Amino acid sequence: MATEYAYAKVNLTLHVTGQRSDGYHLLDSLVVFCGIADVLHATPAQVTSLVLQGPFAKDIPADCDNLVLKAARLLQPGLTATFTLTKNLPPASGIGGGTADAAAALRVLLRLARETLPIATAEALAAGLDRDTLLSLGADMPVCFAAHPARMRGIGERLDWLPALPETHIVLVNPRVEVPTPLVFKALALPHG
C-alpha cells in the first residue's frame, strides 16, 4: 500500500486579469499549500475502485465523476488500484480539494508503477502526464500535482516556482456553504481577452 496527501491549496492573492473566448478566466495568483489534507491510500488491484471515508465523504461522488477515478483512468490500462480516500477537506470551498485528490491519485499511482511495473512502462506512464493532460482534470491541476508554492498564471498552466515560504499560521473558516468555483467565475463580468 502507498499513501499520498492531498494538501489544501490557498490562493494568498488571486487576480482575475481577463477571460478567454472559451470562457476560461485568466489568473495571476500566489499559491501555497496548507498542512491540512485529504489522505489517499492505494493498493494495486485487478480493477480500480474507490472507498470514501472521513467527515466529508458523503458530500462527494463515489462513482466515475470522482476526480480520483478520473485521474486513475489517465494511467489505465497500465495500473489499477483500490483507493481509500479520507475526505477531510470540505468540497466546493475554494481550496482545491478535488483537484488535490486527483493529483494525489496520480502521484501515488506513479509511485506504485515504479515499484511494480517494468521501468520502461512506468516511465511511459509518467511521460503521458503532460501539462495538457493535467489541465484536463482542472485548471489548478499542475500546481496541485507539484504541491509546491508557485505564482500561477494563465488558466493555471503557467507556473513560476517559488522558494519555500516561511511558516505562516492562517485560519481557514468554512461556513459549510458550497461555493463551486465555476459558479464564482461565471458571475464575473469580464471582457474576453
Given the residues 9, 38, 87, 101, the one annotated as active site: 9
Q: Which whole number is the average pLDDT over 65-87?
A: 91
Residue 53 lies in a domain: yes
**Distance between CA 171 and CA 169 in Å, rounded?**
7
Q: Among 101, 140, 160, 186, which one carries the catalytic annotation?
A: 140
Q: Which of 52, 33, 149 is nearest to 100 (CA)?
A: 33
Total Cβ atoms within 10 A of residue 189? 6
The pLDDT of residue 81 is 94
Least confident of 46-55, 87-96, 129-138: 129-138
pLDDT tens for residues 173-183?
888 887 777 77
Give the other-Cβ count within 10 Å of 187's Cβ.
Answer: 7
Whole-prediction pTM: 0.90
What is the rounded CA–CA span in Å between residue 109 and residue 119? 14
Whether 190 is covered by a domain: the verdict is: no
Look at residue 146 in the predicted model and tell me its pLDDT: 93
166 falls within a domain: no
Domain encompassing residue 132: 2-8+34-147
- In angstroms, rounded to a whole number, what is the distance separating the alpha carbons of residues 109 and 31? 25
Give yes or no: 9 in active site: yes
In a domain, 188, yes or no: no
Asked whether residue 129 is assigned to any structural domain, the reply reads yes
Is 159 part of a structural domain of the chain? no
C-alpha distances in Å from residue 161, one per residue of 12, 13, 85, 164: 15, 15, 28, 9
In a domain, 155, yes or no: no
- Cis peptide, bond prior to residue 180, ω within 30 of zero: no
Number of domains in the chain: 1
Answer with the residue of higher pLDDT: 127 or 77: 127
* Within-domain flag for 81: yes
Q: State yes or no: is 140 an active-site residue.
A: yes
pLDDT at 155: 92
Q: Read off the pLDDT of residues 118-153 as tens digits, 9 standing for 90 and up.
A: 888 878 888 878 878 888 888 899 999 999 999 999
What CATH number does the domain containing 133 carry? 3.30.230.10
Alpha-carbon distance 144 to 107, whole Å? 10
| 96 vs 190, more confident | 96
